[in-house]
Amino acid sequence: MKSTTLDPFPTPVLVRRHEDADALNQGLKAAIHRRMKIEPGAALSNRGGWHSETDLADWDEPVVADLLDLFTAMTKEFTLAIMRLPEDSYQFEWEYKTWTVVNRAGDFNIPHCHPSASLSAVYYVQTDPPSAEHPESGLLALQDPRLAISAIPPQAMYGHSWYNLAPKAGQMAMWPSWLTHFVHPYHGASERMVIALDARVTSELYDFERIEAFNKTVEI
């Protein structure tokens, strides 16, 4: 008798590295530094560092529009992966909110989620890799949503309470906004520059006949 192992409730995290992002990152870095000179910044999940207002999408620099195009493409890719339905069977309208966080040595972000959004993402403009002395420096930590998992032995059978993602310049990551996450204290020599995005669905339409026809062709 053959057994089948199911994984019915996955938590998807999409990661993509843009290799040719030097010009984009230099432009974003300059735009962020200009804004840091004229705005005091906000205090939200960040402890230390500089957190911009959530109006980055309205900045005038062309590189911001280029980055938003990358975020839009990633939102589309992530949605296709989650829905597992033909692209022509549904239509979503999105509202985006973006901001930047600049951390220096000792700065970090406390555990939090983004309850008003559907998807959340980050793009790394600049960061130093972790060192042997500080192996978790600046890592993005994603919490396992199965909160009781750490109390169930053996823990190694199921996974770990936190998943650490090492940032690299030009890298993007996207996850469901309800997923709790934080940033480990940063110990790099340069600034750790991140641009974050929240994507919220403002309207949704479905072609239920198309979806039903598709489901009939899928073996369950």
157-190 pLDDT per residue, tens? 666 688 999 999 999 999 999 999 999 999 999 9
Are the beta carbons of 14 and 173 closer than 8 angstroms? Answer: yes
Distances (CA, A) of 43 to 53, 113, 186: 10, 15, 17
pTM: 0.91
Question: SS3 for 152?
Answer: coil
Please write the tens of the pLDDT for every residue from 2-56. Answer: 888 888 888 999 999 998 999 999 999 999 999 999 999 999 999 999 999 999 9
Helix H segments across the chain?
22-38, 62-83, 155-158, 208-216
In a 10 Å sphere around its CB, with 0-12 CB exposed, 13-18 middle and 19+ buried, how is residue 78 labelled? Answer: buried
- pLDDT bucket at 79, cuts 50 / 70 / 90: very high
CA angle 178, 105, 15 (to 5 degrees): 35
Say yes or no to pLDDT of 218 above 70: no
Q: Which domains does the chain have, with CATH numbers?
A: 14-201 (2.60.120.620)
- Among the listed ranges 53-57, 95-99, 174-178, 214-218, which one has the minimum average pLDDT value? 214-218
List phi, psi (to 5°) of 79: -60, -45
The label of the residue with tokens 């500089």 reads 50
Check residue 156 and give its pLDDT: 65
List phi, psi (to 5°) of 29: -60, -45
Q: Kindly state the DSSP code that residue 98 receives in the 8-state scheme.
A: E
Q: How far apart, in whole angstroms, are the C-alpha atoms of residue 34 and residue 12?
A: 35
Q: How far apart, in whole angstroms, are the C-alpha atoms of residue 56 and residue 20?
A: 22
